[in-house]
A and B are shown apart, each in its own frame.
Chain A
C-alpha cells in the first residue's frame, strides 16, 4: 500500500520568509516516484517536480528546492523568499510499481503568503 502524509494543514507566512512544506511517504516498492503539485485558487493542479527513488540529489529551481531523504522517507519542499503568488495548496504524491504507477496524493498543505 502507498501512503503520503502532509501533516501541515495550513501554513501562514509573511512575504520574503522562507517556508518548508513537509511530505512523508510509505511504500513497499523499491522503485517509486515522488511528485509535488501546486493548486492555485483557479483549481488546476500544476506539476512542479518529479524525483525517482534512485536519485536522492536535492534539486533547486529558482526559489524552489526539494530535499529527498530515503532514510526518513521524506520529500520536503522549500520556498525561499516567499511571494504572494506562492499562495496555493501544495500536494505531494507518490507512484510506484506496486500501485501500477497510479499517483497517490497527500491531503495537501495550504500556504498563505501575506504581503
Chain B
C-alpha cells in the first residue's frame, strides 16, 4: 500500500472557478477526513466519512464546499465559486474506525495546495 494519495498536488485557479480535489485513502481504512491548513496554522477539520456516509459536515466552511465518497473508497472535495480566501493546503487523511473504545491514528496524504488568483 502506498499510503494516502491526493491529486492534484497543486492547483492554481481564477477566482470564481470551481475546483475538485481527489483523495484515495489507504485501502483498508474506512474513515476518511478532510482538513484545511493555512500558513502558520494547524490542520482545521472540515468533514469526515465512515465508509460512504458523511457523518459530520457542519464544519465545512461554507455552502460552497462539498464532499463526496460515493462508494466508500476515494473521496472528492469540491469548492464552488472559489475566493482568494480559499487559498490553502487541503489535506486528506484516513484511519480505521474506533472500535471497543480504541482509537487509531490518522494517516495523511501530501495535500493539495490551492492558490486562487
**A residues with CB within 8 A of B:** 4, 6, 9, 31, 33, 35, 37, 42-47, 50, 52, 91, 93, 95-97, 100-108
Contacts and interface: CB of A to CB of B under 8 A. Distances in A.
Given A91-B43, A95-B103, A45 B56 contact: no
Contacts of B41: 107-108
B81 to A, nearest CB: 26
- Which of B42, B55, B101: most chain A CB closer than 10 A? B42
B109 interface: yes
A44 B56 contact: no
Given A50-B103, A91-B43, A106-B42, 10 more contacts: A4-B42, A35-B105, A43-B113, A44-B108, A50-B104, A100-B48, A102-B45, A103-B33, A107-B40, A108-B42
Interface of B: 33, 35, 40-45, 48, 55-56, 89, 91, 93, 98, 101-111, 113
Contacts of A106: 42
A35 B45 CA distance: 15
Contact of B33 (A37, A50, A91, A102): A102
Nearest to B9: A43
Most A CB contacts (10 A, CB to CB) among B56, B98, B106 go to: B106
Contacts of B33: 102-103
A4 to B, nearest CB: 8
Contacts of B102: 52
B43 A50 contact: no
